[in-house]
Amino acid sequence: MTAETLALFPDSARIDDTGSLVVGGCNVRRTADQFGTPLYLYDGETLDRAVEAYRTALSRCYPGAAQIAYAAKAWLCSASARWIAAKGIGLDVVSGGELAIALHGGVPADHIHFHGNNKSDRELAQALDAGVGRIVVDHPDELARLDELAIACGRRQAIWLRVNPDVDTDTHHHTQTGHAASKFGLSLRDGTAEAVALDALRRAGVELAGLHCHIGSQLRDAEPLAVAAQRLLDLAARLRDATGWQPAELSTGGGWAVAYTAEQLADLPPVETYVARVSEAVVQRCRQHGLALPRLVLEPGRSLVARAGVAVYTVGAVKPAGDVTYAFVDGGLADNPRHALYGATYTALLANRRGDAARQRVHVAGPYCETGDVLIEDIELPPLVPGDLLAVPVSGAYQLSMASNYNAALRPAVVWLEDGQATLVQRRETLDDLLRRDLV
C-alpha cells in the first residue's frame, strides 16, 4: 500500500503495527467483527474538517454573507442530519422522504431548501406545513401550484428559481445538469427564466428571495461555475431594471470534484480554488451591474462526505476466469451501483493484515446476478484469501443513497467512528425488513 492510497482515506486513517487499517481510532478488523460486512464507516473528524474547509474558503474569498447547504442526496440518515444541525449549516432536500429524515434528525426547518424538478402537491404541502426556509421552483406550473397552496394555508413562501444557465461541463453526461437540454431549471436561452421571475414577483403566495443553478457534479474546473454565476446575475440585473427587485440570495449549487484514486488526487484542485473563482465572479458581476452583494449559497454534497466514508467487504472466493481473476466480495452492485452506472473508478486496500510484497491483478466483484456487478476493475492487491477484508475509500457519497435490495440484498450497517468510539447509526437490514411491506 502506498501513502497516496492512504491519502484517499479519512484524515484519521492509519495502519497499525499488525498491518490493520485504523479509522477514527477504531481497528477496522475488530469493527467488522462486531458489526459484520458489508459495512460502511464514517469518520466524524473528516466530516468536520470538510465543513471547516468550506467555511474558511468562504470567509477568505467572499466579502458578503455566505452559507453552506449540504446536498442531502449524497448521504442522509438521522445521524448525518443531527451532524448537519450541530454544524449549523443548511440542507438541500429533493423529496418528501429526505425532508422527513432531516426534520427527524433535528435540522431546523428554516435551514432547509426543498429542491426537485417534479414536486407533487403533497410534497409542496408537506414543505409548507414544515415551514421550510426555501422552496426551489423548477417550472411555471410548479410556481402556480405553490402560490395557490401557500395562499390556502395563509403563508407567503420564500422561493428561489432554478435557472438553467446553458453551461456545458466536462463531466459524465449523466451528471451534467446545466446544459440547454437538461431536465432541470428554467431556460435563460428562450426567456422562460425571466418570464417566470416576473410572474413570481406579481404573486401573493410567494416571495422571490433568490436565484439558483446547479450545472453538474465532479467538476474540476471552476470556470463553468463562474460563468453560470455571471449569467444568473445578468438575469438579476435585467429584473432589477424592470422591477427594482434584486436577489437577496444567489446559489450556484455544488458539484466540486473529489478524487477516487491516487491518480485523480494528484491533479485535484482544492476547494478554495472553486470558492475563490465563484466568489470573484459574483463580486465582479455585481460591481459591473451595480447590484448589492447577495448572500452566496454553496451546496456541496460529495465534497463534504465522500472521503469520510469507507466501505468494508469480506473476500469470498478468488476465481480465475479466462484472462482475468475475480476476487469476490460480499457487497457490490446493491450497495454501490456507481461503477455500473457511471463507470466510476475506485481503489481498495487489504484492511485486516499486512499483505505480501507480491501482487495479484484482480477484478473486485460482488455476488449479484449481473455481469456488471464489478466494484473495481484490474487492481493490484496482495494475494487474497477467503475472510480477508477489503476497504474501499471515498465511499461516503452516492453509495448508500443509491443502495437497493437487488437480489433481495440486505442493505448494510453504518457505523460512525470518532475518538476511538464506534457507534452503530444504522443497523443492517434483516429478512423481516424485506418482508415487512408484503401484505399477501
CATH 2.40.37.10: which residues of the chain?
Answer: 3-44+307-435
Amino acid sitting at position 414: V
Report the 10 Å Cβ neighbour count for 324: 13
Mean pLDDT of 54-76: 98
pLDDT, one tens digit per residue, over 387-422 is: 999 999 999 999 999 999 999 999 999 999 999 999
Q: Write the CATH number of the domain with boundaries 3-44+307-435.
A: 2.40.37.10
Asked if 113 and 132 count as a contact pair (C-beta separation under 8 A), the reply is: yes
Q: CA–CA distance from 249 to each of 160, 236, 246, 284, 292 (Å)?
A: 8, 11, 9, 16, 10
pLDDT of 106 > 70? The answer is: yes
N-terminal to C-terminal alpha carbon distance within the chain: 52
Q: Residue 213 catalytic?
A: no
Peptide bond into 300 cis (omega under 30): no
Q: Which CATH fold topology does 115-300 show?
A: TIM Barrel (3.20.20)
Task: Kindly report each contact of residues 85-89 with a partner whose C-beta sits within 8 Å and lies 24 or more positions away, as own/partner.
Answer: 85/111, 87/48, 87/51, 89/51
What phi and psi, each to the nearest 5 degrees, are found at residue 19? Answer: 90, 5
d(CA 409, CA 434): 9
Residue 352 is predicted with a pLDDT of: 98
pLDDT, one tens digit per residue, over 266-302 is: 889 999 999 999 999 999 999 999 999 999 999 999 9
Catalytic residue among 26, 153, 286, 369: 369
209-236 burial: b if 16+ Cβ within 10 Å, else e: bbbbbbbbbbbbebebbbbbbbbbbebb
Q: Is 322 exposed, middle or buried (0-12, 13-18, 19+ CB in 10 A)?
A: exposed
pLDDT, one tens digit per residue, over 324-349 is: 999 999 999 999 999 999 899 999 99
CATH 3.20.20.10: which residues of the chain?
Answer: 115-300
pLDDT of 170 > 90? The answer is: no
Cβ-Cβ contacts under 8 Å for 81 (sequence gap 6 or more) = 91, 101, 102, 104, 105, 106, 107
pLDDT, one tens digit per residue, over 217-265 is: 899 999 999 999 999 999 999 999 999 999 999 999 999 999 999 999 9
Q: CA–CA distance from 370 to each of 197, 334, 342 (Å)?
A: 47, 10, 16
Amino acid sitting at position 247: P
Q: Name the helix (H) or strand (E) containing 423.
A: strand 421-426
Amino acid sitting at position 143: L
What phi and psi, each to the nearest 5 degrees, are found at residue 48? Answer: -60, -40
What phi and psi, each to the nearest 5 degrees, are found at residue 367? Answer: -95, 5
pLDDT, one tens digit per residue, over 114-132 is: 999 999 999 999 999 999 9
Report the 10 Å Cβ neighbour count for 265: 16
Grid cell, residue 332, equals: 457490490
